[in-house]
Structure 1
Amino acid sequence: MHRLFVALRPPPAIRALLGAVQGGVPHARWQDDEQMHLTLRYIGEIDRPMAEDVAVALGQVHAAAPSVALAGVGAFDKQGRVDALWAGVAPHDALAALHKKVDQALVRIGLAPERRAYLPHVTLARLPRSAGGDPAIEHWRARHAGLTSAPFTLDAMILYESRLGRDGAQYDAIARFALDAQ
């Protein structure tokens, strides 16, 4: 089985900027440079024939390369506890349209449609259950609320395989699909 997702990879300068805001939250598992991405669509575990179909379907998606900028930070919580810290990007329109195209392509080959609302972001850290209501989380959010960048272009979709290990997830790029220049 292959655990797959489709993502966009920010350019090196943006990843460096994101790396510079990491820290200051005890027990956070900060994403390293290789893990930084903006998920377009989580696929999940599928067998090899379906993975090959996914690659073919993604190759047929044509869209303009979105231009975005970093836009603040946030957190996801699960059952009342923060479990991830992220950096936002804006504007959302082109990313949401690309997400929809990818989702439609995957539905056409038999995958279930995405049911969750799409919120474009780059995950920066995962937090253990024990982090709970640590005030360091809110301090980090307040300190980096104004995170911004110059606009940057996301010029390719990447199909990743995620391998879970003791030290977190490792992401391997399986295929790259260029997006149209604007």
Structure 2
Amino acid sequence: MHRLFVALRPPAPVRDHLIDVMEGVDGARWQDEDQLHLTLRYIGEVERSLANDLADALQDVAMPPFEVALRGTGVFSRKGRPHTLWAGVEPQLELARLQRKIERRCQLVGIEPEHRKFMPHVTIARLNTASGPVDAFLAEHAATRFSNWQAESFGLFESHLRTGGSLYREVVDYPLFPAKQPVQERASRGPVR
């Protein structure tokens, strides 16, 4: 079984800026540099054959590169308890288009449709009941503008659970370019191993 998701990976300067704000909440489990990403579609656990079908289907996603802008922070809560701190993504038509194209490819290979609304963000910390209050952090970074970046590719990632948090490994990188570019010019893809 492979635990997969599709995401954009911010470049090093953006990741550095995100890491710079990671303080001020006691007991938060801050993400490390290798964990920072913008999820386009969580897949979950799938058999190798379906993982390979998905890897192949994602090759057909074609659109030009576009700019992504991170701004502000927020929190996801469950039953009134915060569990995730995130950096927000400014509304972006191209990002929503890319997410819809990926969703269509997922469904074409037999993956159940995603019923949750797409809420683009970059997770910066996980929280638990022992974590300190987040209000001061959110107020301090409500208007923080993180570095923008040009999204030139997206990736299929595999997640490996471990005690210190998940380890993410990109298994396939998909360059973004206009639909008119022939598919054979894309980087060669290998199966998910």
Matching of residues 127-138 of structure 1 within 5 Å: 127-131=127-131, 134-135=132-133, 137-138=134-135
Question: What is the alpha-carbon distance in structure 1 between the residues aligned to residue 147 and residue 124 of structure 2?
Answer: 19
Q: Against the structure 1 CA distance between its residues 54 and 12, is the aligned structure 2 distance closer, same or farther, given a 3 Å change threshold?
A: same
Which aligned pairs between 1:1-182 and structure 2 lie closer than 5 A? 1-131=1-131, 134-135=132-133, 137-180=134-177
Instruction: Work out the CA distance in 2 between the residues paired with 1:128 and 1:56.
Output: 38
Unmatched 5+ stretches in structure 2: 179-193
Which has the larger share of strand?
1
How many Å separate the matches in 2 of 1:158 and 1:107? 17
Code of the aligned partner of 1:2: H
1:162 and 1:144 mapped to 2: Cα distance?
Answer: 29
Shift of residue 66, structure 1, vs aligned partner: 2.4
Report the CA distance between 1:151 and its aligned residue.
Answer: 3.1
Q: Distance in 2 between matches of 1:156 and 1:180?
A: 9
User: Where in structure 1 do 4 or more consecutive aligned residues deviate above 4 Å?
Assistant: none
Partner SS state of residue 106, structure 2: helix
TM-score calculated relative to the size of structure 1: 0.94
How much has 1:165 moved relative to structure 2?
A: 1.0
**Shift of residue 4, structure 1, vs aligned partner:** 0.1
Which letter does structure 2 place at the counterpart of 1:116? R
Aligned mates of 1:23, 1:149 — CA distance in 2: 16
TM-score by length of 2: 0.89
> Secondary structure of the equivalent of 1:105?
helix
Query: How far apart are the structure 2 equivalents of 1:149 and 1:143?
Result: 14
Tell me by how many angstroms 1:150 deviates.
4.5
State whether residues 65 and 156 of structure 1, in contact with CA within 8 Å, keep that contact through their aligned partners in structure 2: yes
- Checking the alignment, whether the CA contact within 8 Å between 1:92 and 1:120 is kept in structure 2 is no
CA distance in 2, matches of 1:161, 1:122: 17
Matched with 2:181 is none
Q: How many residues align?
A: 178
Structure 1 unaligned blocks of 5 or more: none
The aligned amino acid for 2:87 is A
In 1: Cα distance, 2:36 partner to 2:10 partner: 8
Shift of 1:94: 1.4
Aligned-CA RMSD value:
1.2
Aligned-residue sequence identity (percent) comes to 44
Match of 1:129, SS state, is: coil
Mapped contact 2:17–2:147 kept (Cα < 8 A): no
User: 1:125 & 1:153 partners in 2: Cα distance?
Assistant: 24
For the residues of structure 2 that align with 1:150 and 1:7, how far apart are their CA atoms?
18
What secondary structure sits across from 2:49 in the alignment?
A: helix
What secondary structure does 1:117 align onto?
Answer: coil
